[in-house]
Amino acid sequence: MLKVAFAPDTIPGQNALILTVAEKRKLGEQGQKLDKKLGGALSRAMESSHFTGAKEQTLTIMAPAKTRLTRLVLVGIGDPAKSNAALFTRVGAAAVAALNGKDAQAVLLVDRFNSLTLAVGEAAAQAALGARLRSYRFDKYRTKMKADQKPALKHLIVACKETSAAKARYAPLDKVADGVYLARDLVSEPANILYPETLAQHAASLAELGVKVDILDEKQMKKLGMGALLGVAQGSVNPPRLVTMQWLGDTAAKDKAPVCFIGKGVTFDTGGISLKPPGGMEAMKHDMAGAAAVIGAIKALAGRKAKANVVGVIGLVENMPSGAAQRPGDVITTASGQTVEIISTDAEGRMVLADALWYAQEKFKPRCLVDLATLTGAIVIALAGEHAGLFSNDDKLCDQLTQAGKSVEETLWRFPLGEAYDKLINCPIADMKNHGGRDAGSITAAQFLQRFVRKGALWAHLDIAGTAWQSKDLPLSVKGATAYGVRLLDRFVADNFEDRIEF
């Protein structure tokens, strides 16, 4: 794990140096001093390259003369007058991505520019966050990696004028990064290692941070009538679990109704009897990314001691074909008492969420509900990996989530709900069917979930099927698990349920 520290904005004598540069190749205060010391070498290097100081653009100068630096990386911030927190998060990430050599330690100098609209301390803190997020790797099962294949950077010193402010700003962001790391680890684990019982154990570890964790087993869920969740699980030898995680950080009002996050935790999804095609089925280990995001968000909130009451509820199952597995055509009774005809056993996530949503409302009477799930392939077709789908019964809640996602660049795109779509899941032999056909597949899945939301409850559903895992490197993450939703949920709580300074 990358270790981050802060220091005054001075030019280091050795190791690697990353220096921020504004558009039009404009150097900041320390950059100008260094350029003068080097006889204009920085200016000449920029002029002889395509580097202009545009946002996230980088230029590497190896072993610059007249210094003991191993390398000097220039990273662009664009127009300082248009800077914001998200930009500097990307700047820190771009800096780490450029340091792919043998340097074990580097200094990232967040330079001063007269027109910079963001406080230098905050800019430095956000850059440190971006560096941590981009430095994540999941290599635990690679036993034959060569030394030059492993990330060398272990220590990053972020240098800036406002060191104390940067440290204070970074403290909660560091805890959010911890939550992101946990979620990425969980999504990356193979299904023979991570199944309902072991995933529940990871959630239970949050008790060390003051989170109250309760785990329901199969017998307890049967008593509660959770036929939807249990029906998905009945084909697997791995028994299901339902986990609740309570963070009561608003000490002045611990009895206040909590915000509630619900996550789909299908630790492996074969499709059940409605078996998926074999090609790419290995990717179905990350069908629990919604649950991982909830666990990661609760860790982030508890880690930074958020002044809010938040509950996470995750339904954990494995969807397998066997002689005991649920069949298409079966009719089950959910915890709400409503009945469902199973059209496709591969439409299992909504079944898990149906009972988890109902249980969350019955037990916690939350002020709002937000569920996250890798729910439909249709959302991937519609949005690829650029946005997650957003469905809700409340405009204000939608706006709050959308703004939170925009702030941390975990973007959402709202889809409609309505009676015409709801009719597509009507059923002649049960209260509803679990699949509405190919048309509007993501919408009918959301309509199904809405039938388990009590009248008057504020609810939003995030379909993260396209954003939870990426097959290419992104600005803030390497290819693989993204932990999409952790930072969004944390920011959603910070912006709307905590009375404190924005960070």
The token duo for 212 is 């109250």
Residue 383: phi, psi to the nearest 5? Answer: -125, -5
Instruction: Give the three-state DSSP class for 316.
Output: strand
Does the annotation count 150 as an active-site position? Answer: no
Position 502 confidence tier, pLDDT thresholds 50, 70, 90: very low
Q: What is the pLDDT of residue 150?
A: 77
Name beta bridge partners: 6: 158
Residue-wise pLDDT tens digits, 37-87: 999 999 999 999 999 999 999 999 999 998 999 999 999 999 999 999 999
The token duo for 352 is 């898990």
Homologous superfamily (CATH) for 3-161: Leucine Aminopeptidase, subunit E, domain 1 (3.40.220.10)
Length of the chain: 503
What are the structural domain ranges in the chain?
A: 3-161, 178-497
Name beta bridge partners: 26: 22
Cα torsion 350, 355, 360, 362: sign: positive
Lowest mean pLDDT among 247-261, 369-383, 391-405: 247-261
Share of the chain above pLDDT 70, in %: 99
Instruction: Give the three-state DSSP class for 229.
Output: helix
2, 33 in Cβ contact below 8 A? no
Q: What is the pLDDT of residue 253?
A: 80
Q: Region 385-412: what's the mean pLDDT?
A: 98
Q: Which of 276, 307, 367, 414 is catalytic?
A: 276
Q: Region 364-369: what's the mean pLDDT?
A: 97
231, 257 in Cβ contact below 8 A? no
Share of the chain above pLDDT 90, in %: 92
* DSSP state for residue 82 in the 8-state scheme: G
Q: Which of 112, 264, 350, 491 is catalytic?
A: 350
Nearest to 109 by CA among 40, 161, 70: 161
Side chain identity at residue 358, one-letter code: W
Q: Region 422-438: what's the mean pLDDT?
A: 97
Position 501 confidence tier, pLDDT thresholds 50, 70, 90: very low
Cβ within 8 Å of residue 72, ≥6 positions away: 16, 17, 18, 19, 42, 60, 61, 64
Q: Region 169-185: what's the mean pLDDT?
A: 98
Q: What is the C-alpha to C-alpha distance for residues 420 and 138, in angstroms, rounded to an integer?
A: 44
Residue 498: phi, psi to the nearest 5? Answer: -125, 135
Q: Region 113-120: what's the mean pLDDT?
A: 94
Instruction: Give 333: exposed, middle or buried? Use CB within 10 Å, 0-12, 13-18, 19+.
Output: middle
425, 433 in Cβ contact below 8 A? yes
* DSSP state for residue 22 in the 8-state scheme: E
How far, in whole angstroms, is CA 249 from its chain's centroid? 21
Taking residue 9's Cβ as centre, other Cβ atoms within 10 Å add up to: 20
188, 289 in Cβ contact below 8 A? no
Q: Region 181-198: what's the mean pLDDT?
A: 98
Q: Is the pLDDT of residue 464 over 60?
A: yes
Does the annotation count 276 as an active-site position? Answer: yes
Equal fold, 3-161 vs 178-497: no
Cβ within 8 Å of residue 409, ≥6 positions away: 86, 89, 90, 475, 476
Instruction: Give the three-state DSSP class for 438.
Output: coil
Cβ within 8 Å of residue 244, ≥6 positions away: 213, 214, 216, 311, 312, 313, 360, 363, 364
Residue-wise pLDDT tens digits, 236-279: 999 999 999 999 999 888 778 999 999 999 999 999 999 999 99
Q: What is the pLDDT of residue 503?
A: 37
Taking residue 257's Cβ as centre, other Cβ atoms within 10 Å add up to: 13
Q: Is the pLDDT of residue 482 over 50?
A: yes
Question: What CATH architecture does domain 178-497 belong to?
Answer: 3-Layer(aba) Sandwich (3.40)
DSSP letters along 452-488, please? Answer: TSPTT--EEEEE-TTTSEESS-BTTB-SEE--TTHHH
Residue-wise pLDDT tens digits, 281-335: 999 999 999 999 999 999 999 999 999 999 999 999 999 999 999 999 999 999 9
Cβ within 8 Å of residue 316, ≥6 positions away: 196, 199, 200, 240, 241, 242, 243, 265, 267, 288, 291
